[in-house]
């Protein structure tokens, strides 16, 4: 038996015995109560960081299942806050957006939308501009390679079918600007829209205190073909793009990460008369790191903190594969690095509801990762590439010791707008396909209808849909009548 087949069989055996793929709703607000038992340790640092620790082999099936739960978001209460904003934007348009921008961002605006072509080119530090140019080129190359190839299929003689791609004509891109300005997100969303050929591209981002647009965001927007910039954030920005206002074009699909109010607005509006689609459900950022004894503790700590610093609601998970991993060294590095971070307080809060999992080997580690379905998965082990084929649920994967998650966040070329909160089980990250819709086309010759038509008529008769049947049989009768006429 080959080693890979052996690994696959071991994974299947592990999944069945532990029940790791049984479905449960993500409803837990806190880590499970069994963390009080003797099978966990708590690592505490001067920054008040803590990460609970579990050994998979000591846990029951329900306890393992509970570890996939994220901190619960109470959307019912958030919807009560967001729904009035959504309704107000629909009714009052620009005036309502301006009022909410004063209320939430403390900024008074004369106009909420800028035509990108009318704005002067921003001047960036040369090193900063070069960094964004490199990122743009890599993101463009990776997403351009995703262009669909049109194929014509003749299923039977005279019956031809194909599937064609068309761009979504108007799209809305949300670029957060709360605790951190994210011009990288402007690239991640606008570049595939540019490649797809979207005609109207509205980028929404909160304005600076003087009402201006972040110059790095503007640079990326101009480079990637954004047509309009909406100077607004939060639920009011999502609502303005969904309904359309006097100055903001209405869009057909909205993309991008955001806080719980942004997410709630997207969820409300996709089920409203606004008739919009969204990219995916989103939640706080997260990473799962699988590390073995050969992984550098400095790198492990840095990778965990790179996601923990996003915000206090982020979650990071370390899965230790096998024996020999120096947990104390990792603990020391988290303490040292967290204390030196400008956003260390955010990271410390995120670590307080994060945890470490001890797996017997890589088979158990990968199986747990597939259960958890992380937004980002780092596999920092020897021969990491050989484990890629066993990953079933993850937004984006980072293989080997020289592949930090940060490269995907910025400039490797892959997209950083990814499913969180366990949605990687059924959703993909943003890609070129996210900005396309597909239309199927079929074309039959006379001979094709003669061959296929009788089968269609039979199926329509079974379903009791006589008009469907007649649409075929009347044509077949015309063909037969013409053939008889030609014989006379």
Helix or strand holding residue 153 (H, E): strand 152-156
390 φ, ψ (degrees, to nearest 5): -95, -5
- The three-state DSSP-derived secondary structure of the chain is CCHHHHHHHHHHHHHHHHCCCCCCCCCCCCCCHHHHCCCCCEEECCCCCEEEEEEHHHCCHHHHHHCCCCCCCCHHHHHHHHHHHHHHHHHHCHHHHHHHHHHHHCCCCCCCEEEHHHCCCCCCCHHHHHHHHHHHHHHHHHHHCCCCCCCEEEEECCEEEEEEEEECCEEEEECCCCCCCCHHHHHHHHHHHHHHCCCEEEEECCCCCCCCCCHHHHHHHHHCCCCEEECCCHHHHHHHHHHCCCCCCCCCEEECCCCHHHHHHHHHHCCCCCCCEECCCCCCCEEEEEECCCCCHHHHHHHHHHHHCCCCCCEEEEEEECCCCCHHHHHHHHHHHHHCCCCHHHHHHHHHCEEEEEECCHHHHHHHHHHHCCCEEEEECCCHHHHHHHCCCCCEEEECCCCCHHHHHHCCCCCCCCCCCCHHHCCCCCCHHHHEEEEEEEEECHHHHHHHHHHHHHHHHHCCCHHHHHHHHHHHHHHHHHHHHHHC
Structure token pair of residue 455: 């089968």
Give the active site residue among 65, 252, 286, 375: 375
- For residue 187, CA distances in Å to 135, 149, 213, 226 come to 8, 24, 15, 10
Give the active site residue among 299, 353, 376, 416: 376
Q: Which of 221, 232, 227, 247 is nearest to 117 (CA)?
A: 227
- For this structure, is 468 an active site residue? no
- For this structure, is 376 an active site residue? yes
Cβ 411 vs Cβ 387: under 8 Å: no
Q: Which residues are catalytic?
A: 375-376
């Amino acid at each position: 038996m080959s080693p890979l087949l052996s690994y696959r069989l071991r994974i299947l055996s592990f999944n069945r015995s532990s029940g790791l793929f049984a479905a449960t709703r993500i409803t837990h607000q806190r880590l499970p109560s069994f963390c009080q038992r003797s099978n966990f340790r708590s690592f505490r640092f001067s920054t008040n960081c803590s990460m609970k620790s579990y050994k998979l082999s000591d846990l029951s099936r329900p306890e393992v299942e509970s570890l996939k739960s994220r901190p619960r978001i109470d959307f019912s209460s958030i919807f009560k806050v967001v729904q009035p904003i959504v309704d107000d934007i629909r009714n009052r348009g620009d005036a309502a957006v301006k009022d909410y921008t004063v209320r939430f961002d403390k900024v008074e605006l004369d106009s909420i939308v800028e035509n990108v072509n009318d704005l002067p080119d921003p001047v960036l530090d040369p090193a900063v501009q070069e960094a964004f140019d490199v990122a743009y080129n890599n993101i463009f190359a990776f997403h351009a390679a995703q262009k669909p190839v049109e194929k014509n299929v003749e299923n039977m003689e005279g019956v031809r079918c194909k599937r064609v791609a068309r761009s979504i004509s108007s799209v809305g891109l949300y670029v957060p600007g709360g605790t951190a300005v994210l011009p990288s997100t402007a690239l991640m969303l606008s570049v595939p829209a540019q490649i797809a050929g979207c005609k109207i591209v509205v980028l929404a981002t909160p304005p600076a205190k003087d009402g201006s647009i972040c110059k790095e965001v503007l640079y990326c927007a101009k480079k990637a073909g954004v047509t309009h910039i909406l100077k607004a954030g939060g639920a009011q920005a999502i609502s303005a793009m969904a309904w359309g206002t006097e100055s903001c074009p209405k869009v057909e699909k909205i993309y991008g990460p955001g806080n719980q109010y942004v997410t709630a607005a997207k969820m409300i509006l996709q089920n409203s008369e606004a008739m919009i689609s969204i990219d995916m459900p989103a939640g706080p950022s997260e990473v799962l790191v699988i590390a073995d004894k050969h992984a550098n503790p400095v790198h492990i700590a840095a990778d965990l903190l790179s996601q923990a610093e996003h915000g206090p609601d982020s979650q990071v998970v370390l899965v230790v594969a096998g024996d020999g991993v120096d947990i104390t060294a990792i603990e020391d590095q988290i303490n040292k690095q967290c204390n030196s971070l400008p956003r260390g307080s955010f990271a410390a809060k995120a670590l307080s509801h994060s945890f470490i999992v001890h797996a017997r080997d890589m088979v158990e580690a990968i199986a747990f990762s597939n259960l958890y379905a992380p937004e980002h998965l780092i596999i920092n082990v020897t021969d990491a590439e050989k484990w890629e084929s066993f990953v079933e649920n993850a937004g984006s994967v980072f293989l080997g010791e020289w592949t930090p998650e940060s490269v995907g966040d910025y400039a490797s070329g892959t997209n950083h707008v990814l499913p969180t909160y366990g949605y990687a089980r059924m959703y993909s990250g943003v890609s070129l396909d996210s900005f396309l819709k597909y239309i199927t086309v079929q074309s039959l010759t006379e001979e094709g209808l003669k061959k296929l038509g009788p089968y269609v008529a039979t199926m329509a008769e079974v379903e009791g849909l006589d008009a469907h049947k007649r649409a075929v049989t009347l044509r077949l009768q015309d063909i037969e009548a013409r053939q008889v006429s030609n014989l006379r």
